[in-house]
Amino acid sequence: MTVSPNMRSVAATDRAIEAACEFLAAGELVGVPTETVYGLAANALDESAVRKIFAAKGRPDNNPLIVHLPDVAAMRQVVRWPLDPVVMDQFEAIADLWPGPLTIVLPRSERLPDAVTAGQATVAVRIPSHPVMQQLLRRSGLPLAAPSANRSKYVSPTTAQHVVDGLGDRVSMVLDGGACTIGLESTIVALGEQPRLLRPGAITAETLATRWNVPVESLLPVDQRPVVLEAPGMMLQHYSPRTPLLFADPSASVPAGRVGRIAFAPLAPDESKTFAIVRVLSDTGDLNRVGQHLFAAMRELDAMGLDAIITDTCAAEGVGRAIMDRLKRAACRE
């Protein structure tokens, strides 16, 4: 039987979650909803299942995966426990931000296949809050390795349809849990002598700095650029639409051709008229809304065959730090 890609996303009913558990236990891949972005999940303890993730995404195998767990107790399956006292203190100061859009890099357990961590001594773990993902984790009893469910370097998916569009023929099923409420990948922190921010997200650097009682700057890489060697997935070009993405500049003229516009708040009618399409991400310029809808807007405009997309920008603080991080990567053509 040939299955049309559109048949592969299934509303996340009890029965569908049961079917997803069976696929995962059998070493297959399943597209899963989380509050940040959709993930491409496999049993983290099954090396050959994990290898399928890299093949499906076209992801270099030196780029490690995040392991998802239902709660802190389940962390012992994949983390070397107990933690060192210094790391434990840092961990306890932020652990109540779970379940949520936060990933913590910790020393790994020997049980975990090397493929998950790309041979590193650490593992990135996350306890997501999405109710469907929580049910899946609890019912399957498996730690689930899951990167964002996009082809490597393309924009992350925030709906089940996005997953079908990019990977529909490479997964056993996609569980549809609705549009993601955060819309930006999780904040990643590494604990150790000094805690560090590896990827900004909806849990802000400011919140983390307050918890650890350190200046925000101490969490950031010295040159403010994303960490390159330690998290290979942080290479600059990432999350990119195929259409050139430019930052709005009131003093510059709009480029020739059919141009799309991503606006963080409504535009004046006169300005709107100059674009082939305008997507307004928030009625009020609320950056949490902007984050929620940004990737869907990029994907939608990218599918229109435009000559360019122009986007608003914002100050790189709070959740704006994550938004500007993703926009700079998306605009980068190196």
Q: Give binding residues as ranges.
A: 36, 59, 63, 68, 122, 126, 146, 148, 156, 186, 199, 239
Contact by Cβ (8 Å): 30, 24: yes
Q: Which residues are annotated as a binding site for ATP?
A: 59, 63, 148, 156, 199, 239
H-run or E-run covering 21: helix 14-25
Cα–Cα distances in Å, from 309 out to 95, 234, 251? 39, 23, 17
For ligand TXA, what does the binding mask look like between residues 60 and 99, x meaning CB under 6 A?
---xxxx---------------------------------
Distance CA 122, CA 1 (A): 43
244 makes contact with ligand TXA (CB under 6 A): no
- The amino acid present at 58, given as its one-letter code, is G
The first and second tokens of residue 244, run together, are 């050139």
Strands 196-199 vs 245-247: parallel, antiparallel or unpaired = unpaired
The option from Mg ion, ligand TXA, none interacting with 63 (CB < 5 to 8 A, set by class) reads ligand TXA
CB-nearer residue toward ligand TXA: 194 or 274: 194
Residue carrying structure tokens 């270099």: 60
CB-nearer residue toward ligand TXA: 170 or 261: 170
* Minimum distance, C-beta of residue 162 to ligand TXA, in the bound complex (Å): 12
112 makes contact with ligand TXA (CB under 6 A): no
CB-nearer residue toward ligand TXA: 120 or 272: 120
In DSSP terms, 32 is beta-bridged to 39
Looking only at residues 119 through 148 of this chain, which bind ligand TXA when binding is defined by CB under 6 A?
120, 122-124, 126, 146-148
* Cis amide leading into 99 (omega within 30): yes
* Contact with ligand TXA (CB under 6 A) among 56, 69, 173, 198: 198
The option from ligand TXA, Mg ion, none interacting with 231 (CB < 5 to 8 A, set by class) reads ligand TXA
Strands across the sheet containing 122-126: 9-11, 173-176, 30-32, 39-43, 144-145, 66-68, 122-126, 102-107, 187-190, 196-199
- Chain residues in the site for Mg ion (CB under 5 A): 148
185 makes contact with ligand TXA (CB under 6 A): yes
For ligand TXA, the binding residues (CB under 6 A) are: 34, 36-37, 39, 63-66, 103, 105, 117, 120, 122-124, 126, 146-148, 185-186, 188, 198, 230-234
